[in-house]
A and B are shown apart, each in its own frame.
Chain A
């Protein structure tokens, strides 16, 4: 139906490279030298990377203490939800046989817990169900299942310097969150003080304290800007996860790291896990450039490198045996 009565010459198609499909072609040529050298190079890279990663992972010192069973009585207490207001602490002594030498900047303490991830987001009230409103209808702040399930154990590490007086190892709370989380994502409602800002809301059912009283020592660490809260709200991807709890403040005895000696964790046990067969651990670890200790990446790199090399050798063998035949074929 698009018949035009124009002059025939105008029907002549344009002579452009696009319309005549004459654009230059850049096809990846799988030439033998290219492919084989690429394989060899990849192999070298992977092997090298693997070895570096394994070495750096090996250099990490790490102590993991699973305290669910050690603090068995506390765990039992927490299984009954009615005991929420009863405090239960437990002390776990351990011996650090060698100094945790600090190579980089910081020392850290990590808390392992065992939990299942839930999708939720504090900004999106629509997704807060079923923790958006309490039974009497007041809105919960912060709402949602994730906020409700906040990890609320308190862990204090003490160092027995002379086998008598334990010294509390100084820990830093700052720098355990992403900058964007602390300064962009989470913001307190603007008001004169926090308690008035959160007036008309109630605390999540599993919380002992309202959100504006999370940190009794530092008033700036309250509300949605509480560091522990922010860390918790960065939801883990997998059921088993570890989250940064505190990092070592390198002062006094601890400038070089944690010296060898007797230590103990004093844990205020609040977070119940035995109901769903969960486990909690506390981990002391040093760091490298690639993060914490993970042999997995290094191992996979090494294996990949080895396999790539093997493959490239066998491919070279195939190529050499067939080379003559191919030349013949082309010359035909």
Chain B
């Protein structure tokens, strides 16, 4: 992407409003986005320059230059230049199309309209003309063009920002208070504040700056800024001051790929090319020495007929020249088309991924996308999958599932066996039609709860009242009765929605009130305080005054935290609720404990005072507040809720399948241990069949080490390991540990906590941790930070030499996605940051099995086969020159026609091999899902490694030997059937070339499996035989060929000879038969799994055998679940800060008269109404 325009690192940024002249001094980047690399004029030079930076291309350029030296030239110039130009052209076309699309999208973005305040009036400007320091006006649903500081919002509302098109995950922003009062445009036009802030960077969630205006300073934080690429929502308009434009914006700073990933095959290929190059030099040296000797022994006496070149004065120098000549001739062992072919194949595979209907998510209408086209075959070698939990394994959609109200559990009536009943088996859901405000999408299956509500059970009422009051959800009412909730976390939304359906409808809120429709009656509570959630407190409370004037604190929070704070009088209730909690947690539900506390006026007054002091404190404000909160939150237990974090479709099956394919799955989540373990169980990562699940929760280095040691001891289960291995981590090398641990029998799992992980990742313990973890079938790391995620991936990557894949959906997975060999982004609820950083993206976790087991496996297989055949065919082709060298005085004479040399790699044999690389399928896709073990060769890197490479090379050399010596033996003595000479140079060339093309084609055909592939194989062969004909047919006047052909009639004269055909047949038979025999024996003696699968498929076709199905394992067990709230603070502060707190204008329109304008009035009215409400709320007509 484009670089910032200023070369010197910017230390701070200054932008003065409405002063373009002042801002121009700094030469900040303009808002014109340029992601394209070339324009029409620069394309050719720049693109060529880039292409020649590739070693391979430069190497061929070097060869081309060598060929221009007449003493060295052994081939015509076109044998090198044609392939080189072809390769360059293909790459250039690809680059040009890419750039064309970039130009198009740049233009589209740059020409978007925005309203800019120029000379006191709003004017339409194109995005690219917006400058730093401009004031622009944004309207609802508009894209933010630049990074800007919000100066003024619509009636000082909080601004909502949505990530591109996502409806969920809104971010709240607010305008700077001082500028909010500026009012109309004319005053804004005179605004001359100056913003001084940090230089451009790519941290999305951080911003610090200061606004200098009227000789005072105002702090600016991330809360005040709008990000480029976001959409303004729920706000009619807002004014903003442009701070960063174009390439300096955070979106653009983040969009560049940080690291270029290479596959292991790439690296292997580079090594091999180096080796081949070494081999080439060796051959050149041998032949050069041969040439020197020959010239010395024979050539000197032969000079009457074959004098040396003028430049050549000795046999030695002649040898030196012939070395270079041979380098040119033999260069085809390092084929120029290798790299471009590999790219083409990968591109093809990427398209197959994009095109795959089975990876298309109908619900979201998103196809899978291969965002990188260079990693495909590595998908077939994955050994470790690192997965995020929320949004990846789970849908991140929370559903209110069960609850326990004062000792009675609701919601699980139909679960006799303790199993979650399937959707189809459930009876009708509870009918909420009594409640016009109910959310139609909410489903609940236990009618007893609704009955309890209708009966007016005070506990149940209090329970739902709490749920409708104690939250930071915002409501929006687009039409009367059409409520929409905007929640910071899906958990909260689920709870408030549940309360809404059970007749406690949270309708609206103002900074100081909350209006709830309790069984149809509007009740307005005075909101005294929100004690907001944070990660340490793990609970939130509200203090409200009900219409009767009673002050009550409602609290909800994590069970572990809250149960300790309960009033001792509720012991009995406590134990029942704990039982319920255990039960819920055992089903993998996210639990939450609810409690309340009555406060008297006096106490509250005093407490509020202390709270105010704490909040005004300059230092350690957080701690002080926490302790003040702590004091008031000791509660009476009310009940518990259980929210189902719905697993994504097909997750357990996918995980089971991947496990069978020997892929180890590590879940790295920010969630609590209990939640993570539960999800682990519900998605079958952990099963009750497991021998043991180790839990590492140590807080100190020693504890962690001890826990890891114990785990290993148990796994090894033999006394010698205790004294031998572990107290001395330095001595026992990782190799030894691995060997011991790999032999571990039984299935183990490891659960490690974030703080333990921090110790385990330290340099002296990381190996221990790694070996322990790798011996386990499943690993769950909970409470990990994004950085730790990346560290874990890095650790495995560094020490295991295995291919790692990270999959996640959120911004916190980006580091992990970028670190792993392959990053997969789930395009889901949490925006697109993970997708932007990923190499592959799709919208459901279950597609991973298809990506790996089908596409990955095939890609790897195809790439390996391609490389094998590619090296094979080039060695078979080139080595013939080597053997011929011994018969032509090492004179660098080629065996083949120049045309054949030119076309061999780009026409005659490239397409079959390429088609094999793109289309080959060893077994149908269903089989690779049925037999996950088929994935293993990739993990073990069996199909293309150094050994396989040498086998290919050996086969190639074997072929070349036969290809040369059989025709040699025949031609040496034989004559044509008319008695003329058979052994002329050109006939020999045609014979060798023909048998070579046939042998190579047949070799490919032997393992080709696809119609297209066969088409290309036989098509290429046909082209080979047709090409001399074309030259023949192109003969014009006087029978002379129009094309410059060195030897007209060569091919047909040669191929008309029975002897030649007998030779070709013999060569083919001798080259092919051993291969067939070897394959047949291997099939009989040591068949691959894929061979067996194919064979059994044949057998099955006759037998109609049954399908193997994955057994669904039912799970029982009891674990503790926890309060898995969102990890950010809610809207609490914002709500209580008062002046910013308004509903969206639409909601206001419907409500302004009733509640927000004069809440006291309605409060007074309510007081009289609700005198009778505790008893018979349900019987009251709606709306008092």
- Chain A positions near chain B (C-beta within 8 angstroms): 1-3, 8-9, 11-15, 18-21, 23-30, 32, 35, 38-39, 42, 46, 49, 53, 81, 106, 108, 110, 115-119, 121, 123-124, 129-130, 145, 148-149, 175-181, 183-185, 187, 206, 231, 234-244, 247, 272, 275-277, 285, 287-297, 300-301, 304, 308, 311, 315, 318-319, 322, 326, 329-330
**Are B1010 and A25 in contact (CB-based, < 8 A)?**
yes
**Are B1049 and A326 in contact (CB-based, < 8 A)?**
no
**Are B1084 and A318 in contact (CB-based, < 8 A)?**
yes
Q: Give the chain B neighbours of A289 by CB distance below 8 A.
A: 977, 1058
What's the A-B contact tally at a CB cutoff of 8 Å? 274
Task: Tell me, yes or no, whether B1096 is within 8 Å of chain A by CB.
Answer: yes
CA A178 to CA B986, docked complex, whole Å: 12
Task: Tell me, yes or no, whether B1136 is within 8 Å of chain A by CB.
Answer: no
Q: Give the chain B neighbours of A12 by CB distance below 8 A.
A: 357, 360, 365, 367
With A241-B981, A244-B979, A319-B1084: A292-B1040 Cβ-Cβ less than 8 Å = no
Task: Tell me, yes or no, whether B305 is within 8 Å of chain A by CB.
Answer: yes
Q: Give the chain A neighbours of B1050 by CB distance below 8 A.
A: 180
**Are A110 and B975 in contact (CB-based, < 8 A)?**
yes
Task: Tell me, yes or no, whether B206 is within 8 Å of chain A by CB.
Answer: no
Sample of 18 further A-B pairs with CB below 8 A, known A19-B355, A121-B1046, A238-B887: A11-B366, A12-B357, A25-B924, A30-B1076, A32-B1084, A118-B306, A130-B310, A176-B980, A177-B980, A239-B889, A240-B972, A290-B977, A293-B973, A297-B1066, A300-B1066, A300-B1070, A330-B1092, A330-B1095
Q: Which of B18-26, B285-293, B962-970 contacts A (4 or more CB under 8 A)?
A: B962-970
CA A290 to CA B1066, docked complex, whole Å: 15
With A116-B889, A238-B972, A300-B966: A185-B1077 Cβ-Cβ less than 8 Å = no
Pick 26 A–B contacts, CB within 8 A, sort by A. Answer: A13-B354, A13-B360, A21-B352, A30-B1076, A35-B1076, A46-B1066, A108-B979, A110-B979, A116-B298, A119-B985, A121-B1046, A123-B1046, A124-B1046, A179-B1049, A231-B980, A239-B887, A247-B979, A276-B298, A276-B301, A292-B973, A293-B973, A293-B974, A296-B969, A318-B1084, A330-B1092, A330-B1099
CA A123 to CA B1083, docked complex, whole Å: 55
CA A115 to CA B1058, docked complex, whole Å: 27
CA A149 to CA B364, docked complex, whole Å: 80
Task: Tell me, yes or no, whether B1073 is within 8 Å of chain A by CB.
Answer: yes
CA A296 to CA B1184, docked complex, whole Å: 113
Q: Give the chain A neighbours of B1073 by CB distance below 8 A.
A: 39, 42, 304, 308, 311
Q: Give the chain B neighbours of A177 by CB distance below 8 A.
A: 980
**Are A116 and B981 in contact (CB-based, < 8 A)?**
no
CA A14 to CA B356, docked complex, whole Å: 9
With A81-B304, A236-B984: A23-B1076 Cβ-Cβ less than 8 Å = no
CA A322 to CA B1092, docked complex, whole Å: 14
Residue among B889, B969, B975 making CB contact with A291, cutoff 8 Å: B975
Q: Give the chain B neighbours of A129 by CB distance below 8 A.
A: 70, 309
CA A296 to CA B973, docked complex, whole Å: 8
CA A179 to CA B888, docked complex, whole Å: 27
Q: B303 CB to closest chain A CB, in angstroms?
A: 9
CA A46 to CA B1070, docked complex, whole Å: 10
From 968 to 1010 in chain B, residues with beta carbon under 8 angstroms from any chain A beta carbon are 968-989, 1005-1010
Task: Tell me, yes or no, whether B1057 is within 8 Å of chain A by CB.
Answer: yes
Q: A307 CB to closest chain B CB, in angstroms?
A: 8
**Are A2 and B101 in contact (CB-based, < 8 A)?**
yes
Q: B145 CB to closest chain A CB, in angstroms?
A: 17
Task: Tell me, yes or no, whether B65 is within 8 Å of chain A by CB.
Answer: no
**Are B981 and A244 in contact (CB-based, < 8 A)?**
yes
Q: A229 CB to closest chain B CB, in angstroms?
A: 14
Q: Give the chain A neighbours of B279 by CB distance below 8 A.
A: none
Q: Interface residues of B, CB < 8 Å — how many?
A: 102
With A130-B309, A311-B1077: A294-B974 Cβ-Cβ less than 8 Å = yes
CA A175 to CA B980, docked complex, whole Å: 9
Q: A303 CB to closest chain B CB, in angstroms?
A: 10
Task: Tell me, yes or no, whether B307 is within 8 Å of chain A by CB.
Answer: yes
Candidate in A19, A119, A185, A291 with the most chain B CB atoms within 10 angstroms: A291
Task: Tell me, yes or no, whether B102 is within 8 Å of chain A by CB.
Answer: yes
CA A27 to CA B1040, docked complex, whole Å: 45
**Are B1049 and A181 in contact (CB-based, < 8 A)?**
yes
CA A236 to CA B971, docked complex, whole Å: 10
Residue of B nearest to A130 (CB): B307
Task: Tell me, yes or no, whether B893 is within 8 Å of chain A by CB.
Answer: yes
Interface string of B872-905 (1 = CB under 8 A from A): 0000000000000001110101000000000000
Task: Tell me, yes or no, whether B69 is within 8 Å of chain A by CB.
Answer: no
Residue among A206, A237, A294 making CB contact with B985, cutoff 8 Å: A237
Task: Tell me, yes or no, whether B339 is within 8 Å of chain A by CB.
Answer: no
CA A28 to CA B971, docked complex, whole Å: 34
Q: Give the chain A neighbours of B966 by CB distance below 8 A.
A: 300
Task: Tell me, yes or no, whether B178 is within 8 Å of chain A by CB.
Answer: no
Q: A250 CB to closest chain B CB, in angstroms?
A: 14
From 1044 to 1093 in chain B, residues with beta carbon under 8 angstroms from any chain A beta carbon are 1046-1050, 1053, 1057-1059, 1062-1063, 1066, 1069-1070, 1073, 1076-1077, 1079-1081, 1083-1085, 1092
Q: Give the chain A neighbours of B970 by CB distance below 8 A.
A: 294, 296-297
Q: A23 CB to closest chain B CB, in angstroms?
A: 5
**Are A116 and B302 in contact (CB-based, < 8 A)?**
yes
From 19 to 63 in chain B, residues with beta carbon under 8 angstroms from any chain A beta carbon are 35
CA A176 to CA B976, docked complex, whole Å: 11
From 285 to 341 in chain B, residues with beta carbon under 8 angstroms from any chain A beta carbon are 298, 301-302, 304-307, 309-310
**Are B1049 and A238 in contact (CB-based, < 8 A)?**
no
Residue among B102, B986, B1041, B1053 making CB contact with A1, cutoff 8 Å: B102
CA A40 to CA B1009, docked complex, whole Å: 25
Q: A279 CB to closest chain B CB, in angstroms?
A: 14
Q: A127 CB to closest chain B CB, in angstroms?
A: 10
Q: Give the chain A neighbours of B893 by CB distance below 8 A.
A: 117, 119
**Are B979 and A287 in contact (CB-based, < 8 A)?**
yes
CA A92 to CA B1085, docked complex, whole Å: 65
Residue of A nearest to B109 (CB): A1
**Are B974 and A234 in contact (CB-based, < 8 A)?**
no
Task: Tell me, yes or no, whether B535 is within 8 Å of chain A by CB.
Answer: no
**Are B298 and A183 in contact (CB-based, < 8 A)?**
no
Q: Give the chain B neighbours of A239 by CB distance below 8 A.
A: 887-889
With A15-B357, A234-B986, A290-B1058: A42-B1069 Cβ-Cβ less than 8 Å = yes
Q: Give the chain A neighbours of B70 by CB distance below 8 A.
A: 129
Q: Give the chain A neighbours of B1098 by CB distance below 8 A.
A: 29
**Are B1069 and A46 in contact (CB-based, < 8 A)?**
yes
CA A153 to CA B1094, docked complex, whole Å: 67
Residue among B1014, B1059, B1066 making CB contact with A26, cutoff 8 Å: B1014
